[in-house]
Amino acid sequence: MNICTIGGSGFVGTRLISLLKDGNTVLNIDKAPSQVHGFFTQIGDVREPVSFTSKLAGQHAVILLAAEHRDDVSPTSLYYDVNVDGMRNVLNAMDAQGVKNIVFTSSVAIYGLNQSTPPTETSPKAPFNHYGKSKWEAEQVLQEWVSKGEGRNALVIRPTVIFGEANRGNVYNLLKQIYTGKFLMIGNGRNRKSMAYIGNIVAFIKYKLESGFSGIEIFNYVDKPDFDMNTLVHEIYRNKGKPAPKLRIPFQIGILGGYCFDILSKIISKNLPISSIRVKKFCASTVINSDKLEASGFERPVNFKDALQKTLSSEFVK
């Protein structure tokens, strides 16, 4: 197939292109050059349709990865400029070039935090931040596009937090804090976390591209089991060969400290590694239902514990 990734110069796109380039013709469009796949990459921005519309000619499928996703994006309008208007621009460009198939990486952030039961794909949407709100709005734009018919097909994947080798997101920051001795547990640690390994999620995208999808198909993506934070932290310390610290910071103190860092961040006009949103996300339970994924026929290449071990060995064991 001719496959175009949009926003593929980042963590997910780099691993995905590495998997897809054997047997397919891959084009990556991104506003930033790819450090790994420069040969496949051309510069374009989802906010500027003229920069990429003509490049979609002859593509069998588009994989839309481009997104504003950090917790500290400013101004917040960027979430909607990129995630929502960017979706509209990509779909209009696809229509102009006759491309009928799109894969969209959304997020479980659309469900909100601390749900009483693990959300399924049809659960109510209650995003708690602008990232989640903009992803849900982008999904609605996509659903409207598919409803026009004429052979339009969309695969929507809602991944939970993604980790793996070379990732520099929230999971990496947690691992780094532990390995550098700067970790403090906030809360009681009984909150459970659904997580996703990069090698598995890109394999699922490849699987669905090959097996096909029609109309609009939506999948939560999670790698089980769901560890609570105590178990996850103990597993990491076990790999490090040291006991987990017993000192804990009560949530109320932790969130107060997060608000203080929010104020300091505004005063010095600099993003800081600690914020109230990050404290809330760390202490929240984010268990996601994956029954539909389990019934899809997809077999994960790597189990969760082995994926965690591979990540730790790659990043911290020298």
Q: Active-site positions?
A: 131
Which element (helix H / strand E) includes 94? helix 85-97
Residue 222 near residue 288 (C-beta atoms within 8 A)? yes
> Could you give phi then psi for residue 216, rounded to 5 degrees?
-120, 125
Tokens 């990509």 correspond to what residue?
A: 90
Which residue, 301, 292, 312, 82, is CA-closest to 202?
A: 301
Q: How many CB atoms lie within 10 A of CB 185?
A: 18
Largest CA distance in the chain: 60
Q: Tokens representing 170?
A: 């929230």
Beta bridge partners of 217: 155
Tokens representing 152? 């339009």
